Structure 1
Amino acid sequence: MSDLTIAPHEHGVIRLFTLNMRPQEAKFLREPGAADQVLGVDGLDLKHIDIFPVSDLEELGLFGYLNEGCGVSEDQLDRDKLDRIEGWVMVVRSAAFGGRATKLTPDPRLRLIGLYTEEATNWTGGVIKTQSAKPFSAPLPPTEDDRPRRFGSSLIVILILIVVGGALWLIL
């Protein structure tokens, strides 16, 4: 697979492009449909595309942005290469393609710097050995014979109502 081919249902991939254009043109790419044109694909989700000047990152830099902000592991990143990048960049996440397979045909003013993968969450865990984790270990619901009798409570409520009713009859 080439770096510009998007597989169907691709997930967790980040593409970093440098933008060789005037700042006004780069800012315009934030408008709906503009990123679609320069990447040569329709229907991109702008919520998953970041376009900004590297200078906005200040001390964090592209290395920190990708590592700390996007979850790219350090072993995928070349700090020296990323520190040399100046001007505007475009960061395109897999989610921008909406799970569709496509091939990018970027404008010549865009240059792909790298393709990075986000660290995935490890959802595996060890075996739980406690008694409560075993199947069918929860207490069974009460049966007819185990339910408390409500007869005594009902009798007390009826007696209270008779007394209150009698007192009200005497007062009125």
Structure 2
Amino acid sequence: MTEGLEIPALEAGVVRVFSLSMDEAEAAALKGDAARLEAALGAPVEDPKWVEVLAVADLEGLGLAGYLAEGQGIAPETLAPDRARLNALEGHVMLVMSPAFGGAPVSLAPASAVTLVGVYSETRPEVRFEELPAGSTKGNLAGPGGRGPAPATGAGRWIFWGALALVLLLALGWALWGR
């Protein structure tokens, strides 16, 4: 198994960075084109909007590492070991986010012009569950007008079928005797 090139089923929150050894026109042609992205990555891309192709020169002042931190939610400490290498890249890069593959397990076999630079996980805030204040869970479930939800009984069903039967009987009686 090649590290970083195997995408497990239902992967979430991972960004893969690839450098592209291609000219501007070739890189631009990849944008949003599932067939070309599939050829470049060697695997089916279900949702091309989760693949971003950009010129590193467009990130001047921010740099690729800054873009990954600010734009993709990757913790700066996660990027720290690769910061110099990421910011030294030139030309075009391709950022491939987990949802691009639609939750399917995928083995990437990138074309020769596509080189994996790194795999980074997005920072997720810690989930904390706190007890609700004492009186906040008490209240009225009634909607506007002070009426609560209808009771869960079968009475409504019987009324509907009874009314339908009455209408059908009246229509039948009129058809047979009312002419």
TM-score normalised to structure 1 length? 0.74
Higher normalized helix content (fraction of residues):
2
Matches within 5 A, 1:4-153: 4-30=5-31, 31-77=33-79, 78-133=82-137, 137-138=138-139
TM-score normalised to structure 2 length? 0.72
Task: Provide closer, same or farther for how the CA distance between residues 8 and 52 of structure 1 changes in structure 2, counting only shifts above 3 A.
Answer: same
**What SS does the corresponding residue of 2:127 show, helix, strand or coil?**
coil
Q: Supply the RMSD in Å over aligned alpha carbons.
A: 2.0
Flag structure 1 segments of 5+ consecutive residues without an equivalent.
143-172
Query: What are the Cα deviations for residues 52-96 of structure 1, in whole angstroms up to 9, with x where unaligned?
Result: 110111211111110011000011112211111111000000000
Partners of 2:36 and 2:20 lie apart in 1 by: 13
Q: Which amino acid aligns with 1:14?
A: V
Segment of structure 1 superposing worse, 74-83 or 48-57: 74-83
Task: Provide closer, same or farther for how the CA distance between residues 114 and 132 of structure 1 changes in structure 2, counting only shifts above 3 A.
Answer: same
> How many corresponding residue pairs?
140
Identical pairs, percent: 37
Flag structure 2 segments of 5+ consecutive residues without an equivalent.
147-179
Structure 1 runs of 4+ off > 4 angstroms? 139-142
1:121 CA displacement: 3.4
Partners of 1:114 and 1:121 lie apart in 2 by: 22
Task: Provide closer, same or farther for how the CA distance between residues 139 and 49 of structure 1 changes in structure 2, counting only shifts above 3 A.
Answer: closer
Query: What are the Cα deviations for residues 13-64 of structure 1, in whole angstroms up to 9, with x where unaligned?
Result: 0000000112211111123310111101124311100001101112111111
Task: Provide closer, same or farther for how the CA distance between residues 33 and 140 of structure 1 changes in structure 2, counting only shifts above 3 A.
Answer: closer
Partners of 2:105 and 2:86 lie apart in 1 by: 28
- Cα pair 1:35 1:44 within 8 Å, conserved: no
Matches within 5 A, 1:153-168: none
